Amino acid sequence: MSASQLRLLTLFLERPGDLVTREEIAARLWTDAHNIDVPTGINTAINRMRGHLQASPKGPVSIETVIGLGYRFVADVEQVEGTESEASPSGGTAALQAPQAAAEFAEAGTIEVETSGKQRQPTSETSIPVRTAFPARYLSRFAVPVLCGVALLAVLIAYGVHRWGQVRADRSSQAATGVLGPLIRITAETEKGEVTTSAVSPDGQSVAYSDRSGVSVHWFASGQERLLGARPSFTARRIAWFPDGSQLLMSGTDETTHRSQVWLVPLQGAYLHLIAEDADLATVSPDGGRIAWTRDGDRELWLAGADGQSPRRLAGVGPGESFRFVLWFPAGDRLLATVHRITPGDTVGGDAVRGDAVARYPVDAANHDAYESIDALSGRLLDREEGFSAESGYILDDGRFYFPYNGSPDVITGGSSLMMVRTDRHNGRLLGAPTRIRGLKASFAGSLTASLSGARFAAVLDVTRTDVFAAELRQPGPALAEVKTLTHGAMQNYPHAWTPDGNSVLIENDSRSRWSVYEQPLDGSDARLIASMPENAAMAELSPDGRWVLFLEFTGRPQRAAGVFRVPLGGGRIEQVTTKGQIEEFHCSASSYGSCVLREVADNKEFVYYELDPMQGMGQELGRTPWQPNRLGDWGLSPDGLTVAAANHDMLRPGISLAKLRTKPTNIDEIALRGHGSILGSNWAADGKSLFVECRTEVGFELVSIDLAGHVKSLRESSTLIWATPSRDGRKIAFPGLTISRDVWALGTPAP
């Protein structure tokens, strides 16, 4: 393996599961690409790497191509424990074990990659499950044979000695600042109201935040909270702590006068005190003696004393620009600022934009933002770097600047990441390009702050979860009423069946870093774990007699159903149900007098339906229907177990196919469903007289009810996939839907 191949492998191991763009690969492999056919070179490098990592062309895929974007390293990654080699007298590493050296180049964490599922995706020729979690630790199983080779070991030792000190120092500093710890939600949006901003105290013991109630402080150790004060119709944009922790600085907008203001908020026994009008983005100097804020629509930067006295203009921005974020450097001699160019039509690459801005700072170079370092005494501009964007962040004594990057959800799980860039401690100049430290699992991250040491940080995160909702099914109609949320905590939850008493819903969620089956009570209390498998347990249904929970385990990449399993509803031993052939999916009737039916695919020519008994396993064949493009969860079984209803996925003539089992040949009828987009899937109502159908429309998704005569009633529109899971008595349904919250999240256990 060449040095360039090692650099490519290192890049993938640093970011397992992440999208790595072709531009990033080119930057890692070639410092000067002017005389290189980059597209051809990248293709060659990827093909050679696949050759190293795959035993045969038909072996497991290690590097996935994302057409038009780049590549993902999708091989299983696991930590290989090893002992540290002894340090040389000079402080360097004398010798490295190959797996350990490679391990140190990777980032810890778990990366989740969406694949598909009843969390269902558009029509495809193969049916694959929902999502899978890749444990992104240090060393790929596929890389082990390569890394243990004698030639590569020599390369790793030579390269590792050069890189070991830097990588080890970086990882140690990351651990020391707590950036790799777990994030815990501090506030609850449904109880407090939307959070607008927050700030961690200098000692890291508490966090202050603002919502519709006012300004509150939460203490991490005790969980206690105290409301400090409120300003009616005031929206806080930023909170900053004084170094001694005695009071806060709050800046924002009075919604009645539309004027920006800065207030002092004491922690003990005093009222809020207005110290500045036409002022915003206020921040306190490290010694607590000065305040910096913006004025004139964020176009000017001002300084004042701790109580707002003796204000003076320090600096301003150019035409069409405004300050976006202001922060003191730890020494108190400079201010860090980001500037937003708001002139319509500006493009990167003009006279005012440095030519290498896009290449050096790829965080968000197209947004026209810039980074500035400003002398706090004279207002002199010490450094300006184009193409750099940050709306919040914190900087440590050693010059590391941490900030959130809010990118596209299809690039990084959740869309937001914690980034870090080094700055010169003498003049604030950026040293190199930002690097990604960890994902934040949020659609947007703001108000990133940290304690003085950096051991604990917090941010306001916009988090989108898929929850399970329950609703009363009112007749005539039908119509949904008394809709309420059942789930909480896990990021993704999906319903598939009800318990016989109608008091709980069988769901799958990803709270264990893989899909597992739970019983979720209707009162919204904590879900009870029913089944967890080595990979993913999903699509749980209840046997007609109510005794057994049946589910599928999905394995491999791409995911496939590896078997049907059973477990008693009350909990107990998990056992595999006997099946054979190419398992596709099964369903059980939502009634005590029905049955379970397993569907298999026969050479992509036919769907074959079989009896499925929880104890005896797969039984006799019940019928066959022509194969058509399908997706997981696109068919359902009638309450009596005699009829299969399947979406036809026909864009021009959308409808539902009704296949009568136990007839030869299988009798198939059609119900047309026009005017509601394409059909994704269907479930039977408990009375067997109608169907709940999931549709994809031009603007999103829709759940409709259609009776066997073709009469349609719209039940609910949704921005995400939605289907109905009816209770056995037909009085309630459960369905998935999005919950969007904006709360304070902080490190649960900071590093010592």
Question: Is 134's pLDDT higher than 60?
Answer: no
Residues 567 and 603: beta-carbon distance below 8 Å: no
Q: Flag whether pLDDT at 125 surpasses 50.
A: no
- Look at 142 and 65; give whichever has higher pLDDT: 65
Query: Which single residue is written with the structure tokens 């029509």?
Result: 123
Mean pLDDT across the stretch 445-452?
95
Mean pLDDT of 364-389: 85
CA distance 169 to 159: 16
Pairing state between β 690-696 and 701-707: antiparallel
Residue 443 pLDDT: 84
pLDDT of residue 301: 97
What pLDDT is attached to residue 650? 85
Mean pLDDT of 296-313: 95
CATH classification of 3-79+98-176, choosing from 1.10.10.10, 1.10.1740.10, 1.10.10.60, 1.10.3720.10? 1.10.10.10
Mean pLDDT of the chain: 80
- If pLDDT is split at 50, 70 and 90, which confidence band does 110 have? very low
- Looking at per-residue pLDDT, the higher value among 450 and 43 belongs to 450
For the stretch 659-671, pLDDT in tens is 999 998 899 999 9
- Predicted confidence (pLDDT) at residue 364 exceeds the cutoff of 50: no
Q: Are 746 and 184 in contact (CB under 8 A)?
A: yes
Question: What is the distance between the alpha carbons of residues 32 and 26, in angstroms, rounded to a whole number?
Answer: 9
Q: Please tell me the least confidently modeled range out of 131-140, 374-383, 435-444, 469-478.
A: 131-140
pLDDT band at 112 (very low <50, low <70, confident <90, very high): very low
For 83, which DSSP code?
A: P
pLDDT of residue 142: 32
The set of residues, in sequence order, having a beta carbon less than 8 Å from that of 32 and lying 6+ positions away, is none
How far CA 24 is from CA of 30, 33, 34, in Å, comes to 10, 12, 16
Predicted confidence (pLDDT) at residue 309 exceeds the cutoff of 80: yes
d(CA 598, CA 583): 8
Weakest-pLDDT range from 163-177, 374-388, 481-495, 672-686: 163-177
What is the tens place of the pLDDT at every residue in 570-605? 989 999 999 988 888 999 999 999 999 999 988 888
Q: Which residue has the higher pLDDT, 725 or 368?
A: 725
Q: What is the pLDDT of residue 59?
A: 56
Q: Is the pLDDT of residue 259 over 90?
A: yes
SS3 278: coil
Does the N-terminal peptide bond of residue 476 adopt cis geometry, omega within 30 degrees of 0?
A: yes
Distance (Å, whole) CA 190 – CA 206: 21
Q: What confidence score (pLDDT) does residue 477 get?
A: 86
- Asked which of 96-110, 228-242, 459-473 is least confident by mean pLDDT, the reply is 96-110
Count of H helices and E strands in the chain? Answer: 8, 53
- 68-77: average pLDDT: 73
Q: What pLDDT sits at residue 189?
A: 57
Per-residue model confidence (pLDDT) at position 46 = 84
Query: What is the token pair recorded at 172?
Result: 């140690």
Task: Kindly tell me if the per-residue pLDDT of 475 is higher than 80.
Answer: yes
Q: What is the pLDDT, as a whole number, of residue 469?
A: 96
Name the least confident of 319-323, 412-416, 485-489, 659-663. 412-416
Tell me the helix, strand and coil percentages in the chain, rounded to 5. Answer: 10, 45, 45
Share of the chain above pLDDT 70, in %: 77
Adjacent-strand bridge partners of 210: 197, 215
- What's the CATH superfamily of 464-742? TolB, C-terminal domain (2.120.10.30)
Which amino acid, one-letter code, is at 680? Answer: L
Q: List the domain boundaries for the chain.
A: 3-79+98-176, 464-742
pLDDT at 60: 59
pLDDT per position as a tens digit, 282-295:
999 999 999 999 99
Q: Give the model's confidence band at 127: pLDDT under 50 very low, under 70 low, under 90 confident, else very high.
A: very low
**Whole-number Cα distances in Å, 694 to 626, 633, 717:** 22, 10, 10
Q: Give the pLDDT of residue 56.
A: 53
Under DSSP, is residue 192 helix (H, G, I), strand (E, B) or coil? helix
Model pLDDT, residue 308: 92
Over range 366-387, report the average pLDDT. Answer: 89
Q: Which residue has the higher pLDDT, 528 or 510?
A: 528
Please state, as a whole number, how many other Cβ atoms lie within 10 Å of the Cβ of residue 254: 16
Average pLDDT over residues 84-111: 32
